[in-house]
Structure 1
């Protein structure tokens, strides 16, 4: 979640959103919040006022139990999570802590705190505003917004083995890793702005400058280390396809689809569909279902080629997770936990683990920790067919 910024016709959009909130209230939905109420957040994480105006009752989401919650540490400002399985079968859940500039490691079976990694700085093993995180094989890739780089650490020791991107990235947030023969193709979102207005709000670049919202890097072993190469950047510049405010993304190589969350709520709550080469497909999903900010994205895959996209509707009071069919992108339903709210990143541990024979969804909870939701609970609640791995 990012702070507000000035965009063309923002006032007109705000009026339209306010009208929608009143209409929802008249129909028994959520009422618009008190305009004078204050929100306690850091400067980056100030929510759009429009966001609270359109928050609707999430009762349409089926409630599923949460297996556990990690310790809640508000000082950390947790953003994103990713998991890794050790050779002995233990699952570790890694989380980025933006305000304390470190990684937090939990036991993936119980949520218990295992340890902290790193401190503030620009050296190896140090972080400055770590945001996105992803794991591939025994490597953890961490996006650092304020160091403008991706740092790569080898698990489980967390030794830094590479860093890249500082020469081209301006304000990176999220990433997705596509494993290819002999290495990885890494997609990194870059939500740079053109400055701030008199109220300290970000100013969105004009459409014709949004052609570098996602960067692609090739990353592969070389000698005793690794080599990274910038492959290019992309972003549609049409009103429909432009990536205004970006963080989360995830891809499906089998169907040549890349979903990218649009976080500019004054424009839309939706996911834009691109292909892996960076071309906008002309399609978006979620706008008719999401009543709060579009956020985390993961993909559940099945052996027969089917599966489901799991996406996040970041409600302040309650997070809903909307599922869409893989390939067709048809909406199949939504689930929500009894407590999890204000979710940024999510991660699907799509393998058997202690207590979770069919996998587990990890979701950030209110910037303070994470919860775990058994995949079996999600599949049962939405009556999904069996999914062989």
Structure 2
């Protein structure tokens, strides 16, 4: 969610004419006390299109084996579809508006089966589309959502989905004032969704949650991911006050009933804002969480043990910077037999990291390819 200036020099392949955008504040640089980070080179960096202001990512594989990477483009109010194996820009979907199939500040994305879910901050809803044609099937959340950002989906029964949506509504003239603690129990909203015999989504609002205590409330939320095997949600709290008056960022652990477990990542685990988060599930119980630390001049990707949340290493790419969203595609594709981690680069492009490269470079467990 952070806004940043475009003064930093970028590689030539990513330079492009910039459209008028709101001024952006400088991202933090990596402190000298930060833990060591390995370099994992990107397998590709897509052509840049700065006017898009890309944010979130989701992947989908067609019955013929083609894998798409779908990105939300906040400034142009549309979706951008890339070939996930090559980074080639394939098409755009949608245009500004509030009718079905149109968008107003699309943000969080999630794919389940052949359905794509899109959270729209300024239309205050989640739209549902059928893939591969992106036919709009319906929407939900208009009566509750105020500023939806992130999405995560859990299939509780065959055909029955529980969808968690972060709602980072703010107050003040510039919408930068965190609501009072008493209102922060609305930071995550739950919906139960099923599809009827005509393929239309039917939703039921299942309430909201969020801790409201001074030292553990969810203040600025966006990314969310879950682990069905561990009854665990990790929610990125991008900005909360520390005792010394500075802001900090972390991932907080909740269970599926919406109760804060009391666990979060250690203070100073993130030098900047915690952004995208994804679970790399390598077996029924093994794997790692991958979390974005939105730093300059290079994004840091931190890995944490699936159950203990203990640090498991960090890496950065050769060019990837200012990352918001990520998508972890653990299934084999044509170019990535062991799967890939996709990330947004500088709001303008997408990049791909080979999971096999990450596993080897960081010396991860053998079940994850290390």
- Per the normalisation by structure 2, the TM-score is 0.90
Alignment of 1:360-379 (within 5 A): 360-379=340-359
Structure 2 residues not aligned, in runs of 5+: 5-18, 241-245
Q: Is the 8 A contact 2:229 2:284 kept in 1?
A: no
1:242 aligns with 2:217: yes
- Structure 1 residue 256 corresponds to structure 2 residue 256: no
Displacement after TM superposition at 1:46 (Å): 4.1
What does the per-residue CA deviation read over 1:61-84, in whole Å, with 9 as the maximum and x for residues that have no partner?
A: 100010111111000000011100
- Cα distance in 2 for partners of 1:74, 1:3 equals 13
Give the match for residue 22 of structure 1.
none
Tell me if 1:206 matches 2:180.
yes
**Count of residue correspondences:** 347
Structure 2 match to 1:343: 323
* Structure 2 match to 1:11: none
Q: Calculate the aligned-residue CA RMSD, in Å.
A: 2.0
Report SS of the residue matched to 1:100: coil
CA distance in 2, matches of 1:364, 1:188: 20
What corresponds to 1:267 in structure 2?
A: 247
Evaluate the alpha carbon distance shift between residue 187 and residue 166 of structure 1 in structure 2; reply closer, same or farther with a 3 A threshold. Answer: same
1:163-220: CA deviations, max 9, x gaps? 0101100011111111221221100001111222xxx462111111111000000011
Residue 147 (structure 1) aligned with residue 127 (structure 2): no
| 1:157 match | 133
Once the 2 structures are TM-superposed, how far is the Cα of residue 276 of structure 1 from its aligned partner? 1.1
CA distance in structure 2 between the partners assigned to 1:59 and 1:374 by the alignment: 23
Greater Cα shift, 337-346 or 298-307: 298-307
Secondary structure in 2 matching 1:216: strand
Shift of 1:386: 2.1
1:56 equivalent to 2:36? Answer no
In the superposition, relative to structure 1, how do residues 201 and 46 fare at CA in structure 2: closer, same or farther (>3 Å)? farther
Deviations 1:9-47 (A, max 9, x none): xxxxxxxxxxxxxxxxxxxxxxxxxxxxxxx9944x844
- Given the two structures, how large is their TM-score scaled by the length of structure 1? 0.85
Q: Tell whether the 8 Å contact from 1:131 to 1:142 is kept in structure 2 after alignment.
A: yes
How far residue 364 of structure 1 moved from its aligned partner, in angstroms, is 0.4
The 8 Å contact of residues 269 and 286 in structure 1, kept in 2 or not, is answered as: no
Specify which of 190, 203, 207 is matched with residue 216 of structure 1. Answer: 190
- 1:77 equivalent to 2:53? Answer yes
Match of 2:13 in 1: none
1:244 touches 1:264 (CA, 8 Å); kept in 2?
A: yes
Q: Does 1:189 align with 2:163?
A: no
Cα distance, 1:55 vs. partner? 4.0
CA distance in 2, matches of 1:254, 1:260: 17
Of 75-84 and 266-275, deviating more is 266-275
- 1:354 counterpart SS class: coil
User: Runs of 5+ in structure 1 lacking a partner?
Assistant: 5-39
From 160, 169, 173, the equivalent of 2:145 is 169
> Contact 2:112–2:153 at 8 Å: present in 1 too?
yes
Supply the distance in 2 between the matched residues of 1:201 and 1:143 (Cα, whole angstroms): 19
Aligned counterpart, 1:114: 90
Note the alpha carbon deviations across 1:137-179, whole angstroms, 9 max, x for none: 0011101000000001111000011201011000111111112
Give secondary structure in 1 for the equivalent of 2:366. coil
Provide closer, same or farther for how the CA distance between residues 335 and 218 of structure 1 changes in structure 2, counting only shifts above 3 A.
Answer: same
The CA deviation at 1:92 is: 0.5
Would you say the 8 A contact 1:307–1:325 is kept in 2?
yes
Q: 3-state SS of the aligned residue for 1:352? A: coil
Distance 1:228 1:201 in 2: 29
Distance 2:266 2:313 in 1: 11
Q: Which residue of 2 aligns with 1:293?
A: 273
Q: CA offsets, 1:272-315, max 9 Å, x none?
A: 11111111111110533311110000001122411100100011
